[in-house]
Amino acid sequence: MTINELVYINGIDKEKFTSYVFNKYKPVPGMVLFSQGLTIIENIIDYGCKHKRTTKDSLIYFIGDLLPDLELCEIAAFVEDELLTDNGRALKSQFWSEYDKPKEPKEFYYYFDCLDGLIGDSYLTASEINKLITGAADPMSEKDIIKTAANYEATLYRYEKAKGGGMVNEVCLYDSFEM
Three-state SS for 10-31 is: CCECHHHHHHHHHHHCCCCCCC
What pLDDT is attached to residue 112?
A: 94
Provide the residue type at 81 as one letter. Answer: D
- Sign, CA dihedral 96-85-66-141, equals positive
| Domains of the chain by residue range | 3-98, 108-174
Distance CA 150, CA 102 (A): 33
pLDDT recorded at residue 40: 84
Q: Is the pTM of this model over 0.85?
A: no
Q: Which residues of the chain have pLDDT under 70?
A: 25-37, 102-105, 179
| pLDDT attached to residue 16 | 92
